[in-house]
Structure 1
Amino acid sequence: MHEQAIQHFKNADPILDYVIGKVGALDYTPESDGFAFLVQVIIGQMLSAKAADTIHSRLLAKVDGTVTPTAVAMLEEDSLRSLGIARRKAQTILALAQQVIQDPQVLEDLSSLDDRQCLTRLCKYKGIGPWTAKMYLIFVLDRPDVLPLEDGAFLQAYRHLYGDADIETRASVWKPYRSLAARYLYRFLDLGYCR
């Protein structure tokens, strides 16, 4: 699919073609642990990557390196807060852990839903909004056509490359591969090209 998508980008968007030339081939594997991924993303809401990584590392140390629903559910809210996790996020993480313990298939079942249904299902949990849900669709479910308009890193790379051009209009030429286009913009940013 990547070759087909890259050819599509080459024909549809010379700026994205330039980005692909700078970044090179993308090699990635979808995240295999949906719960651990969601916990990490919830921690990272509205934080810099550095701050989020620091807090996530503390949580990993607290649960002996593996973020499972059972390990998380054994922690008190105050224990999570002592790691630097805000109260609302701690409550969301604990509620999610309990949900997955009660229904171990709750996250796996998302793979059978379409993108809109997945977003709706994830956003029904207090503390999970469109940004967190879209990160799940892109990085866990590997859905091909998700546009992360709520993501600061994506927006930073986009504005560096496209200025004030309307994102949804511009990104319409990336369909049906908008997730891969977003991955290229993330990588472009990570490699330090957006100065």
Structure 2
Amino acid sequence: MWEKNAVIDGPYHFDLALDRLARDPLNIVDKGKRLIRVPIYKKEPEVAVIQAVGTTEMPSFIIRGSRHQTKDQVMEKVSSAFQWNLPLVDIHQHFSKTTLYEIFETHFGTPIILDFSLYPALVRPIIHQQVNMSFAISLTEQFVKTFGFEIEGVPFFPSPETVAQLNPEDLRSLRFSQRKAEYIIDLSKKIVSGELNLEEIGQKSDEEVVKELVKIRGVGPWTAQSFLLFGLGRKNLFPMADIGLQNAIRRLYKLDRKPTYEEMENYSKEWHPYLSYASFYLWRSIE
């Protein structure tokens, strides 16, 4: 067992982040102790514990792991997933001069937490396509608990190799649609065969990533943008087709109908170059 301290620049409201993460039963969160147990995906998977011990203005953390030889790898993955190198103060100062200033004050310092591996970051939005949020969360939970595995009580997504061996009927029994089952299995087969390399794609520009991913059956622009945002942590994404985002803008501007894409484009001009945070905080405003 090893333990390491991390001090980062504020603001960083870990408690608000945990509140959101706790809504997903696949996240093992203890809000009282201000900690989360996270899956670390690598050749030999393990669990890391991240516990906040500082404040929003002066954030600091204790990170614990089980294998000394992998400490540096775990710290790199944790720092990336929790976006510890992104100065939120710059983002909040930017939005203090925009129409989103009240939302950013309400959710001050809330970070975007990335998925803990690129494969789940692409599978998850495919599962979430065209279903309501509660069913999407339930469906994802059943998928992971049926075909994945656990370490120290922490659920891990199944590997692409595992999913590639499934038949659509295996997912249909969990209430997946036929097409969605086929999409996920076909995607996994492409990864296993080497036809699709998510790490290599992650080195490309936003436009190139979307162009590559939408070639895959079942992956449209919304799914590709979700992967960019929650898989790769890209900063300037605004998925206008997202219903939640449309509803948040409708409420913000007191519209009697959902906004048009042209209206959303106009509203968002002042939010560049941090459209991802505009999207995230708008979602937060209606959760």
Q: Same fold by TM (over 0.5)? A: yes
Q: In structure 2, how many angstroms separate the alpha carbons of the residues matched to 1:40 and 1:140?
A: 10
The amino acid of 2:110's aligned partner reads L
Q: In structure 1, how many angstroms separate the alpha carbons of the residues matched to 2:145 and 2:202?
A: 30
The amino acid of 2:92's aligned partner reads I
Which residue does the alignment assign to 2:241?
150
The amino acid of 1:170's aligned partner reads Y
Which residue does the alignment assign to 1:189?
286
Which residue does the alignment assign to 2:205?
114
Secondary structure (helix, strand or coil) at the match of 1:28 reads: coil
Shift of 1:42: 0.6
Q: In structure 2, how many angstroms separate the alpha carbons of the residues matched to 1:106 and 1:17?
A: 39
Shift of 1:6: 1.4
CA 1:80–1:31 in structure 2 vs 1: closer, same or farther (change >3 Å)? same
Secondary structure (helix, strand or coil) at the match of 2:158 reads: coil
Judge conservation of contact 2:112–2:280 (CA < 8 Å) in 1.
Answer: no
Q: In structure 2, how many angstroms separate the alpha carbons of the residues matched to 1:185 and 1:48?
A: 18
Shift of 1:187: 1.4
Which residue does the alignment assign to 2:103?
19
The amino acid of 1:16's aligned partner reads L
Q: In structure 2, how many angstroms separate the alpha carbons of the residues matched to 1:158 and 1:111?
A: 30
Measured against aligned partners, the alpha-carbon deviations of 1:49-71 in whole angstroms (never above 9, x if no partner) come to: 11111111211121133321012
- Number of residue-to-residue matches in the alignment: 188
Judge conservation of contact 1:36–1:68 (CA < 8 Å) in 2.
Answer: no
* Greater helix share, structure number: 1
Equivalent residue runs for 1:19-98 within 5 Å:
19-65=103-149, 66-98=157-189
The amino acid of 1:171's aligned partner reads S
Q: Percent identity?
A: 28
* Greater strand share, structure number: 2
Match of 2:226 among 117, 135, 150: 135
Judge conservation of contact 1:63–1:71 (CA < 8 Å) in 2.
Answer: yes
Q: In structure 2, how many angstroms separate the alpha carbons of the residues matched to 1:104 and 1:34?
A: 15
Measured against aligned partners, the alpha-carbon deviations of 1:124-178 in whole angstroms (never above 9, x if no partner) come to: 1011001100101111111111111011111111111024461101101100110
The amino acid of 2:238's aligned partner reads L
Shift of 1:105: 6.6
Q: In structure 1, how many angstroms separate the alpha carbons of the residues matched to 2:238 and 2:141?
A: 28
The root-mean-square deviation of aligned C-alpha atoms, in Å, is 1.5
Which residue does the alignment assign to 1:5?
91
Which residue does the alignment assign to 2:43?
none
Which residue does the alignment assign to 2:44?
none
Q: In structure 1, how many angstroms separate the alpha carbons of the residues matched to 2:197 and 2:112?
A: 25
CA 1:144–1:42 in structure 2 vs 1: closer, same or farther (change >3 Å)? same
Judge conservation of contact 1:73–1:94 (CA < 8 Å) in 2.
Answer: yes
| Higher CA-based Rg | 2
CA 1:105–1:75 in structure 2 vs 1: closer, same or farther (change >3 Å)? closer
CA 1:64–1:140 in structure 2 vs 1: closer, same or farther (change >3 Å)? closer
Structure 1 stretches of 5 or more lacking a match?
A: 191-195
Higher relative contact order (CA 8 A, sep 6+): 1
Structure 2 stretches of 5 or more lacking a match?
A: 1-86, 150-156
Q: In structure 2, how many angstroms separate the alpha carbons of the residues matched to 1:135 and 1:99?
A: 19
Q: In structure 2, how many angstroms separate the alpha carbons of the residues matched to 1:141 and 1:91?
A: 25
